[in-house]
Structure 1
Amino acid sequence: MATTFEFRVRHAEPVYARQAAQAAFAEIDRLETLLSRFHEGSDIWRINHAATGEHVVISEECHACLLQALQLHEFTGGAFDITIGAAADLVKSAGKNRVVPEPDALQDILDQRAASTIALSPGNFVVEVTQPGASLDLGAIGKGFALDAAAALLREWEIENALLSAGGSSILAMGAESDAPGTGGWPVNLLGETRSAPLVLHDYALGASGTGEQGNHIIDPRRRSQAYAHIRAWALAPAAAAADALSTAWMTMNRDEIAGVVAGLAPGHAAMVENPDGSLHLCNRTGVWARLEPGAHPVRA
């Protein structure tokens, strides 16, 4: 998943907490072998290399992740899309060389992707490649999916309080940092390009996307462009996979589009964006955007 995972586990017995964390890290490593398109022999690698008409048997975990990705694709009107891995490679390669990708090259890859078809059965762990050309990439949901799996394993260990992070852009909070009155969760910072804002998470996930670290690496598959409505975006959700994916989608969606998606999601979802002028704005299920003023009390989720 090409990122660093960090876990803070709170438990009365430190040795037990370390053992639980090690088990969670092992689960992350196991999922990497199933979900990474760069890991030869993984489920995603085999789908991307399958021939026309081939049926690829996949793991239960990969099946669950693909179903979530499909649902989020539909919820966002196609703004979130895991089938554009080849286009993402072109964009990232150009970014590393500090050049803009050739428009025709990007359009050719997106045309090939548009003509590709894979079939996923909700009830069977099989993917059928009916038309090749898709390049599945779970990078925008895989980190969050892995954090959700790690949290589930920690709960099996009866760990109630932990803060799980994947590269700082995907965060999942379980319980609270301490039992002190008024703590209420785990304090984190929304780090924007020009300012930050305090946030307290309790049994919630936060996903972040932007251009500050990786440049213009996000593609809008609907408009076939790299035009962004914001300079940074965050998604709050009960699960890290959804927060991870939605924050990516928010980057290419305008505020009206985001508000419509948030209003249609289950309770507990919200969006935050940073505008080019540095202002931060929050939208919950009411569909109303509120500006977060500097020095305001922490947002609690």
Structure 2
Amino acid sequence: MSDAPRGVRHVEHVMGTVFSFDIRDRPTPAIHRALAEAVRGLHTVDAVFSTYRPDSAISRLDRGEMALGDCPPEVHEVLSLCATVTEATDGWFSVVTGGRLDPSGLVKGWAIDNASRLLYDAGARNTCVNGGGDLQLRGESSPGNPWRIGITDPLRPGELVTVVTGTDLAVATSGTAERGHHIIDPHRNTPATGFASVTVTGPRLTMTDAYATAAFARGEDARGWLESLEGYEAYAITPDGQSWRTSGFARLEA
């Protein structure tokens, strides 16, 4: 962990991706402790929820080697949230992928949310927590200036399609740029191919990230559904390079 004159930055490799913490407040012992706790929390989430680790609680639960009642309390919380999102998305978000229990479409956003809240409770009011391109923003990047987040073009690596600005804002993108067609249409059990990427903004990342996954899976019907979500906006790119925005997204663009 390294200090800037006014802030703290830290990078952590965990959960199969890169997490970065950008804290723009003057560092205090409480903030340093909260950052250390947040990093430990990410590793705990990885140990509990990784579908790639045969010893994780979620893998053992999936194989029937552990009862739900014997799982850590985090599993109960996440599966309850997943059930809520499944209902809110008419089943386009699913906790089962390819016949396996897999809550990863919600877990990363939830973990980032928790890390951001730890920092806030410790007095860090101006922070960006980024996990693999999904972000929870709080406060400002500097006094009087909102955070500016570039949205990458999934079809032209290295280029941006737009820039989102905001203060207390979550930004989540589901797409094919890094992992190919990894999001499954839960109603057909086939890869979803209607989008190259969908970026969703909202107040907190747990739901924002899950909604981005559900929108990507939903395909061409996603626009109307996203318009109906109060407090959420979206920007989508189709495989042929066409794009659309929900009605309020332009207010967030630089």
Distance 1:262 1:33 in 2: 36
Q: CA deviation at 1:40?
A: 4.3
Aligned to 1:273: 236
Match in the other structure for 2:191: 226
Contact 1:208 1:233 in 2 (8 A): yes
Q: Which amino acid aligns with 1:80?
A: F
Tell me the distance in 1 between the aligned counterparts of 2:80 and 2:223: 21
37, 50, 59: which one aligns with 1:23:
37
TM-score normalised according to structure 2 size: 0.82
**Which residue number in structure 1 is paired with residue 246 of structure 2?**
283
In our comparison, the structure showing a higher alpha carbon Rg is 1
Tell me how far 1:62 sits from its aligned partner: 1.9
Letter in 2 for 1:34: V
Aligned partners of 2:236, 2:184: CA distance in 1, in Å? 17
| Amino acid in structure 1 at the alignment position of 2:109 | G
Farther-moved stretch of structure 1 (249-258 vs 135-144): 249-258
The answer for the alignment partner of 1:79 in structure 2 is 92
- What are the within-5 Å matches in structure 2 for residues 147-166 of structure 1? 147-166=112-131
Native 8 Å contact 2:199 2:236 kept in 1: yes
Give the structure 2 partner of residue 66 of structure 1. 79
Return the letter of the residue paired with 2:171.
L
Quote how far apart the aligned CAs of 1:254 are.
Answer: 3.4
Root-mean-square deviation (CA, aligned residues, Å) is 2.5
From 49, 59, 68, the counterpart of 1:45: 59
Matched, 1:210 2:175: yes
Q: SS at the partner of 1:25?
A: helix
1:187 aligns with 2:148: yes
1:228 and 1:253 in contact (8 A); partners too:
no
Secondary structure in 1 aligned to 2:185? coil
Query: Which residue identity does 1:273 align to in structure 2?
Result: A
* 1:236 match: 201
Amino acid at match of 1:299: E
2:206, 2:88 → 1: CA distance? 14
TM-score by length of 1: 0.70
Q: Matched residue of 2:165: which SS?
A: strand
Secondary structure, in 3 states, of the residue corresponding to 2:104? coil
The one-letter code matched in structure 2 to 1:69 is: C
The alpha carbon displacement at 1:274 in A equals 0.8
Q: 1:157 to 1:56 in 2, by over 3 A?
A: same
Structure with the bigger percentage of strand = 2
Name the structure 2 match of 1:174: 138
The answer to whether the 8 Å contact 1:10/1:17 transfers is no
Q: How many residues get paired?
A: 236
